[in-house]
Amino acid sequence: MRVADISLSQAITSQLDQQESSIATLQEQISSGRSLNKPSDDPAAVTQVLQLSSEGSQLTSWQSNAQIATSWLGMGNNAVNSVLSNLQSARTLLLQALNQGTQSSTTYQAIAAQLQGINANLLDTANTQYEGRPIFAGTSASPQAYDSAGNYLGNGDSPTVIVGPGSGAGQAADLSVPGPVVFGTGGANVFSTLSTVIGQLNFGTPTAAQLNTALTALDANISDAEQASAELGNASDAVTSTSAALTTQLTAVQNGQSSLEDVNVATVTTQLDSEMTNYQAAMWAASQAIPETLVKFL
């Protein structure tokens, strides 16, 4: 066999190998639906995909935290709305006791019983939990925010989650407010207010001064709850805005990753048909250009 024949056969073999590799790559892309199945397919694009994937994972984590914050804050807002409703009912009862003049002990005790029911409702609400954690206990590990006597068991810190980049650990979102923000502090809290006036009503003849004092204290408790409601509402609005921004960013990242990874099946199918046609033509050319024995060898 001449040296020229050997060189020709090597060139044709190399060309056929390249075409076979190209065909195999296109077939894999159609099968997987991905244009990048191994790093060698496009090293630069693979690097971009890895960066986008990492960014997407971080955004997904922040989005998950934002959803948790939304759930906490939604529960907190509902709880505070319930608190305000109960406090307004208590205020109506105190006004009734105050404005109707001296009444029988039985009447006062009936009002006391209704206030006792309201107090019990407020304690239940104060111990509202999200996934087993009291939402008004701050960052405390206490299983309850308040004990049965209305004493606060939590701390003064607000629980938070990270929902975006920022200094330190990142942008934090408040999940709730500590109990005293809603129910008042120490001896001025709503449970103390109600317990005091309930005792006076049960004694039978509360004075107008006592009822006025209770009404003033209750109005202060209502003001605290209203401010807490505003604070929770603002926090909820902030989280909603952050969550929307995260969704926009995540969609952009996913679209960018998809544009690098996903295959246009129609385009790749056309390329595969073209490669197959070229490969068959190359095989025919090889059969014509290389001696029969060499073609058999190939």
Query: Could you state, in order of their start, the residue ranges of all structural domains in the chain?
Result: 3-33+263-297, 72-258
User: For residue 57, what pLDDT is reported?
Assistant: 94
> What is the rounded CA–CA span in Å between residue 6 and residue 2?
7
Pairing type for strands 171-174 and 160-164 reads antiparallel
User: For residue 14, what pLDDT is reported?
Assistant: 60
User: For residue 297, what pLDDT is reported?
Assistant: 47
User: For residue 265, what pLDDT is reported?
Assistant: 42
Helices (H), the chain: 3-32, 43-99, 105-126, 179-183, 190-203, 208-261, 265-289, 292-297
Going by the DSSP 8-state scheme, the letter that residue 38 receives in this structure is S
Q: Which residue has the tokens 């629980």?
A: 159
User: For residue 80, what pLDDT is reported?
Assistant: 98
User: For residue 188, what pLDDT is reported?
Assistant: 94
- Entry pTM: 0.74
User: For residue 49, what pLDDT is reported?
Assistant: 76
Q: Which residue has the tokens 């050997």?
A: 6
User: For residue 45, what pLDDT is reported?
Assistant: 74
Three-state SS for 33? coil
User: For residue 50, what pLDDT is reported?
Assistant: 82
Average pLDDT for consecutive 10-residue bins of the chain (298 residues)?
54 57 50 54 74 92 96 96 98 91 86 97 97 95 95 96 90 95 95 97 90 97 97 96 94 85 51 54 59 50
Strand-pair partners of 129: 134
CATH 1.20.1330.10 fits 72-258, yes or no: yes
Cα angle at 139 between 135 and 143, to 5 degrees?
60
